[in-house]
Amino acid sequence: WQLGGPFSGPIGGFSAFDIARDGNARVLVGGALTNHCWGCGLPQIGLLANAFASAFLNAPAGIMVTVRFSDGSTARYAFRFNKNWEFTYEPGSARSPSGQSIPDIEASPAGTWYFTATPDGGTEAEAFINHFRARGGNIIGAGSPARITCTWDGQTLTCTIHTT
């Protein structure tokens, strides 16, 4: 699902980085998906799918969609027919344009992220640095990163920029 088209205003400018760090952005995109799909027969499909799944699979039915944002990043949203009848963000599913995991604000941000130059000469490293700063992270080093390594001791996030 390409985010654009029926989505306008601030939602059209979101990326998966926004979704990973902002609960309200998650809700706004989920609401936009729900509103867009409601007129597509989603309630009727839900009733049939849930009846089938309950009868034959002994499990609730649902739909999973991957939202691709304008920067190429993605996040998954689930619509479970036995729940709130709305799309909700699937925790841990945010990915950068190159497919790297973007830690949710609630998750441990420890890990290593790798970067190569994009066709326009940049990298997605700046978006990750801004993401870690927004989480209160201490950023050590400067320059164009080849990788960023982050540690989390339960209270402090420390991210080191490695240029080689």
pLDDT in tens, 55-67: 555 555 577 889 9
Residue that has been written with the tokens 């080689």 in this structure: 164
Q: Could you report the per-residue pLDDT of 109-162, keeping only the tens digit for each?
A: 889 998 876 666 667 888 999 999 988 999 999 888 889 999 988 889 999 999
Q: What is the pLDDT of residue 48?
A: 56
Bridge partners for 140 per DSSP: 160
Q: Could you report the per-residue pLDDT of 88-100, keeping only the tens digit for each?
A: 899 999 999 999 9
Instruction: Show the tokens assigned to 109.
Output: 């941000």
CA distance 18 to 39: 27
- pTM comes to 0.74
